[in-house]
Amino acid sequence: MTLHCPHPEFAGRQRLLDGIDAALQASDTHVAVARIQRVLEQAIRDPQIVLPACVHAPLHGHYARREIYRSPQHGYSIIAMTWGPGQGTPLHDHDGLWCVEGVWQGTLEITPYRMLERDGERYRFAPRDCLQGCKGSAGNLIPPDEFHTLRNSDAERIAISVHVYQSVMERSHVFQPIGDAPRWYARECRELGLDA
């Protein structure tokens, strides 16, 4: 499903975009991503930046992915995700793209994973410490450290997060546990869509 309005206008949008564009002037990926993380943290606290109304509507059955901007000059994509109570992701990667993620509203449980080994089409992971992402917090993923899960653990309230991807993320690899094997997973490629 695609958005009816692919890039909705919202208050303060240009302030956010100017900050990301300036951060991308760094020649080093780690420096640029760290700068974008600071931009996103500041944007969440900035009362002049107000996300479009559509991102406050959860969907039944899965979290919502709504593209709110795509840069024609730099190629990055900004996705707002709306997490209904208890909604989350399986263990997944970002298809080799860096990403900066910030919690705009509510709280998310974020569990990063470290790949320990690969045996053919089986992958073994170890979870790292679970992080509680609350409003105003942000983090980043830079490959090869790109494996994690996200979940809204609140039983009543929605959470909203904003994700700045290196480019349009059209697919992701999802890792599902294999039977009773401890921490071994099978990988499957999933196409990612956008919600209205």
Binding annotation for Fe cation: 92, 94, 148
Who contacts 74 (Cβ-Cβ below 8 Å, separation ≥6)?
A: 20, 21, 24
Question: Which is nearest to 172 in space by CA: 162, 151, 186, 187?
Answer: 187
Give CA–CA dist 162/101, Å, rounded. Answer: 6
In the numeric block, which tokens belong to residue 30? Answer: 């780690």
Phi/psi for 96 (5° steps) reads 80, 10
Task: Mark the binding-site residues, compressed into ranges.
Answer: 92, 94, 148
